[in-house]
Structure 1
Amino acid sequence: MNLLTAAQMPFNHQVGWQELSGRQPSIPALAGWLVLPMSLLPPIMLYFAGTHHGDALMPGFADREWRFITTILFLAELLTFFMMGWVIHTVVNGTQALSIDYPDAYLLAALAPLPLWASSLILLIPNLLLNVLVVLAALGVSCSLIYHGLQALCGRHDHDMATMSATYTIMSAGVLAWGVLMALTWAY
């Protein structure tokens, strides 16, 4: 899959999804080759921002225990992947109009946070407003990935309301998990 195809996936249910689903990557392969390396990016960038930018990013930012915080964040991200795959499978199969198997549910759980993980690169710039705007945009792209991924992976385009409902439920669980991760980060 090329970069142009991957860039179209959040905005289209036809481009790239069947190719990925057809490869049938195993859950351990997704965890090892995609989730593990990409979930390292936010803790590394947060550690960098905390130790290099410090209070230039936000008052009191430099005084945190960044080794501990970033380790907990990394472990929580890995746990969230496994939980979200289960949530996607449970929510989608709980509707009568849609169904998804576990490999596709975990494929979607691995792809959905990619924009959020990539948005952590903005921490290279010590500007809080810019950081918040980029993360919010990434959250929107992540929502779109889930919606179009469900359309493609469930193979049903005639049940748009069921797809939207499942997307809202999944995103609610994802935003809740993301909020808990951020609360853990700022609590320490």
Structure 2
Amino acid sequence: MSILSYPKMVFSNDGWPELENRHLSLIRFFGLVVFPLALLPPAMLYYAGSHYGDLFVAGFGSKPWGTIAAIFYLEEIITVLIMGWLIREVAEWYGLRPSNTDAFMLAGIAPIPMWLSSLSLLVPNLAVDAGIALLALAAGCGLLYNGICAFCRTRDEVSAVGMTQIVMSAGAFFWALLLVLVVTL
């Protein structure tokens, strides 16, 4: 599978069959994709918070960014696991039967744009960072929708949109929890 296939996966079904045919184990997938990419947001939070946190919000420069980063990473991994379970449950509710591997792989693929968007924290500009995060959220939504169509083997757009809405709503809830962590610690 070419690295050029990944951006296409946001907007179409291109790339999904190749990914499914690779037959990666979940342990290998998490080790190669989820664990390393999920490190980006905590690392960037630590960097931005400790170097120019007060530019974002007064008093953020003195927060315990090492502790926040560690808890943030743990919460991200737990969220991916919960989302994998949720994708499988919602799919079954819609009468679809994705494999556990497919559901958990999709849960690990959908947040990749959001994880990568954390690199925008290298720019100490809240408007730029928020804009990039919103674009990443839209890309994650596209990945989730097209992944549901591919992994759940459905052409029913209404079901795929409904599943995407449910899973994205849960994802937004967990994202809000992560943001509350940053603000309250």
Alignment TM class, shorter chain as reference: over 0.9
- The question of 1:182 aligning with 2:176 is answered no
Q: Deviations over 1:78-104 (max 9, x none)?
A: 1111111101001111112x3211011
User: Matched residues, percent identical?
Assistant: 39
CA distance in 2, matches of 1:67, 1:150: 36
Q: TM-score, normalised by structure 2?
A: 0.96
Task: Name the residue aligned to 1:168.
Answer: 165
Aligned to 2:142, what secondary structure does the other structure show? helix
CA distance in 1, matches of 2:36, 2:90: 27
Amino acid at match of 1:31: F
- The question of 1:3 aligning with 2:23 is answered no
| Alignment RMSD | 1.0
1:52 Cα deviation after fit: 1.2
CA distance in 2, matches of 1:180, 1:66: 17
Q: Deviations over 1:6-44 (max 9, x none)?
A: 11101001x110111111222211221111100111011
Q: TM-score, normalised by structure 1?
A: 0.95
Counterparts in 2 of 1:17-166, with a 5 A limit?
17-96=16-95, 98-157=96-155, 159-166=156-163
Aligned to 2:60, what secondary structure does the other structure show? coil
* 5+ long unaligned stretches in structure 2: none
1:58 Cα deviation after fit: 2.8
* 5+ long unaligned stretches in structure 1: none
Q: Which runs of 4+ in 1 moved over 6 A?
A: none
Amino acid at match of 1:173: A
CA distance in 2, matches of 1:32, 1:124: 25
Are 1:24 and 1:103, in contact at CA under 8 Å, matched by a contact in 2?
A: no
Q: Deviations over 1:57-78 (max 9, x none)?
A: 3322202110111110011111
CA distance in 2, matches of 1:54, 1:168: 33
Amino acid at match of 1:8: K
CA distance in 2, matches of 1:90, 1:147: 16
